[in-house]
Amino acid sequence: MSVPDPQSLPPVTSRLLASVADELAMVAEEIGDAGLAGRLEHASALLAWVRGRLDVDEDASAELAREVTRLSAGADGSGLLRKSIHRLLDSMRPADTRVAEPSAGSPAAGDKPVSPVDVTTYLRARRPGSTDEAHEVRAILGGFSKRTLLVAATLDGVRQEIVLRQVPAGRRARSLAPEFEVVRAVYAAGLPVPEPMWIEPEDNALGGAFFVTRRAPGSNVGDVWGARGVSKDVCLEVASIYARLHQLDVEGVPMPVSPRSTPEELHEMISWQESTLAKRRIEIEPVLAALLAWLRAHVPAAPARRSLIHGDAAFSNLLIEDGTVTAVLDWEAAHIGDPAEELAYLRPSVEPVLPWEEFIGHYVAAADWAPDPEVMRFFEVWSHVWRHIGCLWLAQNYDASRRYASAIAAYVHGPRFLAEGVTAAFGPP
């Protein structure tokens, strides 16, 4: 089969090919870098997606899509629907989409570069008369909604490292202050989070609103699918951390995200996701529509325990040093919810390292509470569906941002989240 002329390809495909070419060129210049293998894997998976899309039989996929829509709306048993959904997924999937979370990406379009001089000027204007000074500023790449800057500085005569978690300039920062308050509450309770320092709630000389924490020691060893080299002891420590989190009294602490545990809140969240997709003019394709219908039909009763939920509890948001968790990062999705939601989200990270029964047994002993298996199943589907929808947003945003990490999330992780959601809801093929 001949490869189509790039000029005849859809615009997003041409841009994806250009992004992959650029990334491979950068990797070629960085032979010996510790992240080389992962970045090559990302690029390879993205090329596989592009190749798969070029080879799709559009007519066959369209017919399968109509069949899934018909079965979803009818009274047919889930067996037929399950088979049709898996056939549709297979018709759209490249041969190999196994890939880790991107460890780095390009800065979001429009981010203002920040220099040590800029930060020094800001620090001295914030505290007139001080001799505070920034020595080095480095972007920590890989995030999507906020920019993270690592700053080496001397504050009050003490050399230290601080982290600025910044909303892009001009964007609304509604969740920033609540996220900061959650971090303060969790830090005060003695759980491992970066020490909160101060917040700059409005656009400022450094760009968008941000808050500052002291840098926590350790390094990241995980991604959305699991962890690299994490021990069983770390997994058990994670179980203890979240058991403690789910017992915290956070009455009166504002949350970045609305509550989602009662049937009414869960139905409202499903409707909100559907309406947001419509506003973004993102089509809800048949497989996703079937999963949303499944969620509506299986919304659980209100939980006996409503807790503070981190909301993005993958191992990609942990720092680990000497075999110990030093910090849980990125609290922008924190909310009041059912602890089963958190546990379902953690499960894909834990199972490659530790049998789930051992993890959940350790959690139950520490939390004095056990999740209902059917509620866990609901939230497993829930977490895969919401992550897939997030990838749909990133696919749309990629047209404007051209961020390589967004392309990986959109076109490699997105299909896998969808497939995992189907398996959780309807079973394997």
pLDDT, position 99: 33
Lowest mean pLDDT among 71-75, 100-104, 152-156, 197-201: 100-104
Q: Which of 360, 313, 314, 320 is nearest to 334 (CA)?
A: 313
pLDDT tier at 104, thresholds 50, 70, 90: very low
- Whole-number average pLDDT of the chain: 84
pLDDT of residue 103: 35
**Higher-confidence residue: 95 or 235?**
235
Q: Which of 1-5, 111-115, 409-413 has the highest mean pLDDT?
A: 409-413
DSSP E strands: which ranges in 97-241? 133-140, 147-155, 158-166, 196-200, 210-214, 222-223, 226-227
Check residue 33 and give its pLDDT.
47
Pair type for strands 324-328 and 335-337: unpaired
Is 90 exceeded by the pLDDT of residue 62? no
Better-scored residue on pLDDT, 222 or 342: 342
pLDDT of res. 159: 97
The DSSP string of 223-287 is ETTEESS--HHHHHHHHHHHHHHTT---TT---SS--B-SHHHHHHHHHHHHHHHHHTT----HH
Q: Does residue 10 carry a pLDDT above 70? A: no
pLDDT surpasses 70 at 272: yes
pLDDT band of 146, cuts 50, 70, 90: confident
Tell me the pLDDT tens digit for each residue of 16-48: 766 776 676 666 556 554 456 566 666 766 766
User: What's the pLDDT score for residue 25?
Assistant: 63
Top pLDDT among 364 and 231 is at 364
Q: List, for residues 175-214, the tens digit of each pLDDT value.
A: 999 999 999 999 999 999 999 999 999 999 999 999 999 9
What phi, psi does 16 have (nearest 5°)? -60, -45
Largest CA distance in the chain: 74
Alpha-carbon radius of gyration of the chain? 22
**159 vs 124, 151, 274, 327, CA distance in Å?**
16, 11, 49, 21
Amino acid 6: pLDDT: 47
pLDDT at 326 over 90: yes
Q: Is the pLDDT of residue 240 over 50?
A: yes
Instruction: Map residue 319 onto helix, strand or coil.
Output: strand
Confidence of residue 337 (pLDDT cuts 50, 70, 90): very high
